[in-house]
Each structure stands twice: as C-alpha cells, then as structure tokens.
Amino acid sequence: MSKKNIDLAKKLLRRGELVIFPTETVYGLGGDATNDKAIKLIYKVKKRPKNNPLICHFSNLKEIEKYFYLSDIEKIIAKKFWPGPLTLILKKRENNKLSKYLSHNSNYVGCRIPKNKIARKLITINNNPIAAPSANLSQRTSITNIKDIDPVLSKKVFILKSTQSSYGLESTVIKINKRDNIEILRFGSISVEELNKISIITKVKVIKRSSLSPGNMSKHYSTKKPIRMNVKEVFDNEGLLNFGNIKLKSKIINLNLSKKGNLNEAAVNFYHYLHKLDKSKCKRIAVVNIPNDGLGKTINDRLKRAIK
C-alpha cells in the first residue's frame, strides 16, 4: 500500500468522506465513526435502511475500552478472537464521541478489531474508529475481490485496493446476554465450533439466534441471478457452483469452491465466484450441497438469504 494512497484516505476520512478498504473478511465502506456527516453518507451511498446498525472498527482493545464497557467474559472473548473476524456487540459508555447514527440511537454497537494490516493502518492513522458496512449496495453480494466492486460505488468512493480477502466471509456477530451466554446474531468467519471452544474456558453457551441482527431479517447477499441450492442436476441455462468431487457439469460455466472439499478454501472463493457467475452468460445459478458444518453453515446461511 503506497504512502500516497494512505495519506489520501486519511485526508478523505478527516473531511467526513468515505473510503473503501480491505479487511480479512470482505471489503468495507468506511467513514469516521465520530462524524455524523460521514455516517449519514454511508447509509446514503449504500442505500441502507437506517435501522440497520453499522459495525465499528478499532485498532486495539484499549481504544475500545475508551468507548465501551466490557465484562470479564467479553474481555476473554476479545483477547481470544481479536484481531480477527469477530464482531462483539458492546454497551457504549456515556458521553462518548461516537455518532449516534451508527446504531440507530441504540446504546449497543457492534465492534471489531480487524486482522488485515491495511485496515489497521487506516484506523490508526485516522486516530478515530472507522464505521464500515460491507462495500456493496444494500441487499447485494459482499465483495472479497476488488474486481467485483459495483461501479455505482467505485465511481463515488476512493478505494484502497488489495489482494483477495483471506477469510472471505463476513465477521461472526455475537452478543453476550445477561446469563453470560454467547448469542450468535449472524453466522460468519468464526464457526460455531470455534466459538464453542470458548465455552470450555468461560462456561458460556452458544445460542443460535441469527434472526436477531436487523440486517439478517430480509433478503440479503443477493446475486442478480436466481440461485438454486442442493442441486442434483444442472439445467441448460444454469451455471454451476460446485464443491468437492461431485460429478455435475454446466454447459455454460463451472466453478468449484474447493476441489479438495475444504470449507475454509470454499469460504475464500465464495463471493468472488458468485460475482463471476453473475457476470457470466448463465441465466440461473445452481449450487451443489455444501456440508452444513464449520464455515459451511455460514455459506448455507448466505445462500438461503440470497434466495429469499
């Protein structure tokens, strides 16, 4: 990442403008989280409903503690999973300078410390947290490869370009409830199995409540073309999204998420391949059965929401 680009990004953020930047999950559409103008602009540019709160990105835990209360369990989870693809919903301290538009006036805000070096550098030089939803138009497919950026966004917003995201699925969004249980509000790059490992240390229980996140209530993550899941055959006008060694073929386009049948590799390829299928000549997208464990759960969740 050139110094010139980072300096320009810093200047834009200071002015309340937006910057598209890479993270280890998906690209983000970022604005200064303390600047009302920037936050309102994010909602406008993305055409996002105002009641769907934004995730706030920080460079380190000390910085988060300036703005939020963390319980002992939240601290354990923060130390175990940050920096990384986990978003923790935390309660704001009074009189902090975060924009109230971030989370629809709620006192609870989704926070994470990204692992990606460019993302961390950007937050550090901005000297304020950065609010960022995924860098796609509302309801559309996230991007993990800058080639897939929607021209509507790339025309309006400066981009810090990088390589393919290393995880490829959005962060897992969790909240610790009053009984110290982990509630999963959105499946993501940290699998339920990974979170369950923590339950051995902290005696927390994983509860799946994916409908709780406002962004998960409606149609989401949608491709332009209709998707069919768990296919056993491929029709003439369909492109194929395959996994493992399933012997199916499309006459138009064949993409395999992971020939080895590795779900982590599938996660990295997932959004880029959906964009490729969307841009190809096929009329519909046929997806084979993806095992529903590990990151397969997140992939299946996204596919189901894309179909709705």
Stretch that binds Mg ion, among 128-136, 154-162, 249-257, 276-284 (CB under 5 A): 128-136
Distance in Å, CB of 279 to ligand TXA, minimum:
22
Rounded to 5°, angle at Cα 256 from 250 and 259: 125
Residue closest to ligand TXA (Cβ):
215
- The CA radius of gyration of the chain, in Å to the nearest whole number, is 19
Which of the ranges 92-100, 127-135, 178-186, 197-205 carries the binding residues for Mg ion, by CB under 5 A? 127-135
Is the omega angle on the peptide bond into residue 83 within 30 degrees of 0, that is, cis?
A: yes
- Sole window of 62-70, 100-108, 223-231, 294-302 interacting with ligand TXA (rule: CB under 6 A): 100-108
Pick 115 or 156: Cβ nearer ligand TXA: 115
- Complex with ligand TXA: residue 210 or 237, whichever CB lies closer: 210
Residue type, 41: L
Question: Which residue from 35, 59, 128, 134 is in contact with Mg ion, where contact means CB under 5 A?
Answer: 134
Q: How far is 55 from 36, CA to CA, in rounded Å?
A: 15
Contacts with ligand TXA in 151-210 (CB under 6 A)? 170-171, 173, 185-186
Kindly give the interhelix angle for 295-307 and 263-279, rounded to the nearest 10 degrees: 20
Please give the order of strands across the beta sheet that includes 238-242. Answer: 227-228, 284-287, 238-242, 254-256
Nearest approach, Cβ of residue 143 and ligand TXA (Å): 10
Asked if residue 216 binds Mg ion (CB under 5 A), the reply is no
Residues 35-94 that bind ligand TXA (CB under 6 A): 52-55, 85, 87, 89
Measure the CA–CA gap between 138 and 46, rounded to whole angstroms: 6
Q: Nearest distance from residue 45's CB to ligand TXA, in Å?
A: 13
Place of tokens 């993806």: 290
x/- letters, 211..230, toward ligand TXA (CB under 6 A): --xxxx--------------
Q: Which two tokens stand for residue 10?
A: 């810093």
For 45, residues 6+ apart whose C-beta sits below 8 A from its C-beta are 18, 29, 153, 156, 157
Between CA 82 and CA 61 the distance in angstroms is: 8
Q: Measured from the CB of residue 227, what is the shortest distance to Mg ion in angstroms?
A: 17
CB of 248 to Mg ion, least distance (A): 30
Cα distance between residue 3 and residue 293, in whole Å = 42
Instruction: Give contact residues for Mg ion (rule: CB under 5 A).
Output: 134
